[in-house]
């Protein structure tokens, strides 16, 4: 009778070890290639910021007579002092902060109320209202300049900060509602039902329960709104004519003349204008990722 030869368990383990080692080496190589690729992408993304900072420390002769990749011979730190004092950048910076913060708070609050009413309350016209807000995503910004200008002229809001804040809020509402929509749909209803049983009003549920639960996606929506509002140019340039109410993006034109242009000062202004966005993004980066991923899976 033939006998079946068996391989001891210890030998089997030894035979698998080379395969496991090869797999681990392959995984490490794959991660190494991935990290190298991400490092190269990071260099390409951060280099324009470094170049802009070096550009802001040059004068016009260095800008035109030296290589764009060269370091400034004598860093012109006075460019920053010049734009802050002579160029009225301090006032423009404060205006940008006021417009941006006011519009972001108003947009996020109104969008949260609308999304709460559409997703957490039962009423017949909810789908219709949501569709009307989504239509706003298809309206080109530039096609509204003349109607908005005529409207603000009739109600005496031209050259007023309120015209800019209202415009930012209206145009950012659709995209903000769309961002909040998926997160609100994924929220458990048990917490709200328990609050209703305890006698909580609808306002109490929204401000004390639902709104704090949506803080991650609110951070995401806030940073997206902030980037748009801070960098916006067309509406401010159209509705604001007084230097008292201009923002950084429009104030850069002060350094562009008919015969001479101070390029170093323009670079310093651009550096000052991007710093708040970078700082806000670094502070809220974890919340942004959390807000994007939290509403992707329901349940």
- What is the DSSP code string of 172-199? HHHHHHHHHHHHHHHS-SHHHHHHHHTT
How many CA atoms lie less than 13 Å away from 165 in the CB half-sphere? 18
Compute the average pLDDT of residues 122-136: 89
**pLDDT over 70 at 292, yes or no:** no
Highest mean pLDDT among 131-135, 190-194, 198-202: 131-135
Backbone angles phi, psi at 39, to 5 degrees: -65, -40
Compute the average pLDDT of residues 166-182: 93
Which stretches of 56-189 are DSSP H helices?
A: 60-65, 78-85, 89-120, 126-135, 145-154, 161-186
Backbone angles phi, psi at 160, to 5 degrees: -130, 140
Q: Measure Cα distances from 231 to 20, 187, 247, 252 in Å.
A: 52, 33, 9, 12
CA-based end-to-end distance of the chain = 61
Compute the average pLDDT of residues 93-116: 94
Say what the pLDDT of residue 293 is. 59
Rounded Cα gap, residues 142 and 208, in angstroms: 39
Rounded Cα gap, residues 60 and 81, in angstroms: 17
Residue 137's pLDDT band (cuts 50, 70, 90):
confident
- What mean pLDDT value characterizes the chain? 83
Say what the pLDDT of residue 150 is. 94
Residue 273 token pair: 């204008």
Rounded Cα gap, residues 167 and 151, in angstroms: 12
Compute the average pLDDT of residues 276-281: 82
**pLDDT over 60 at 251, yes or no:** yes
Rounded to an integer, what is the distance from CA 189 to the centroid of its chain?
29
Highest mean pLDDT among 42-46, 124-128, 164-168: 164-168
Residue 147's pLDDT band (cuts 50, 70, 90):
very high
CB 250 within 8 A of CB 234: no
Residue reference for tokens 């997160």: 183
Compute the average pLDDT of residues 49-66: 86
Q: Which of 240, 255, 275, 261 is nearest to 158 (CA)?
A: 240
Q: Measure Cα distances from 65 to 59, 60, 69, 215 in Å.
A: 10, 8, 12, 51
Cβ-based neighbours of 145, under 8 Å, separated by 6 or more: 234, 235, 238
**pLDDT over 80 at 103, yes or no:** yes
pTM: 0.78
Cα dihedral sign, 24-25-26-32: positive
Q: Give percent of the chain with pLDDT exceeding 90.
A: 28
Which has the higher per-residue pLDDT, 5 or 236?
Answer: 236
pLDDT tens by residue, 15-31: 555 656 676 777 888 88
């Amino acid at each position: 009778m033939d006998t079946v030869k068996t391989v001891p368990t210890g030998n089997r383990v030894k035979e698998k070890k080379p395969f496991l080692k090869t797999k681990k080496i392959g995984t490490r190589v794959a991660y190494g290639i991935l990290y190298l690729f991400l490092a190269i992408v990071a260099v390409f993304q951060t280099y324009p910021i470094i170049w802009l900072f070096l550009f802001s420390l040059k004068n016009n002769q260095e800008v035109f007579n030296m290589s764009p990749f060269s370091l400034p011979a004598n860093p012109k730190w006075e460019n920053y002092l010049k734009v802050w004092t002579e160029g009225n950048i301090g006032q423009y910076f404060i205006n940008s902060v006021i417009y941006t913060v006011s519009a972001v708070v108003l947009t996020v609050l109104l969008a949260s109320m609308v999304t709460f009413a559409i997703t957490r309350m039962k009423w017949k016209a909810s789908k219709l209202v949501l569709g009307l807000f989504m239509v706003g995503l298809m309206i080109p910004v530039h096609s509204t300049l003349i109607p908005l200008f005529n409207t603000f002229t009739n109600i005496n809001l031209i050259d007023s900060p309120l015209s800019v804040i209202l415009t930012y809020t209206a145009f950012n509402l659709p995209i903000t509602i769309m961002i909040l929509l998926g997160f609100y749909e994924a929220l458990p209803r048990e917490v709200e039902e328990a609050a209703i049983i305890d006698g909580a009003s609808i306002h109490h549920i929204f401000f004390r329960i639902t709104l704090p639960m949506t803080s991650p996606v609110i951070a995401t929506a806030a940073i997206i709104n902030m980037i748009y509002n801070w960098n916006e140019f067309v509406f401010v340039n159209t509705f604001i004519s007084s230097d008292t109410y201009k923002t950084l993006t429009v104030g850069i034109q002060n350094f562009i003349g008919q015969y001479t242009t101070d390029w170093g000062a323009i670079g310093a202004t651009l550096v000052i204008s991007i710093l708040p966005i970078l700082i806000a993004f670094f502070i809220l980066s974890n919340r942004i990722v959390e807000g994007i991923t939290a509403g992707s899976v329901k349940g």
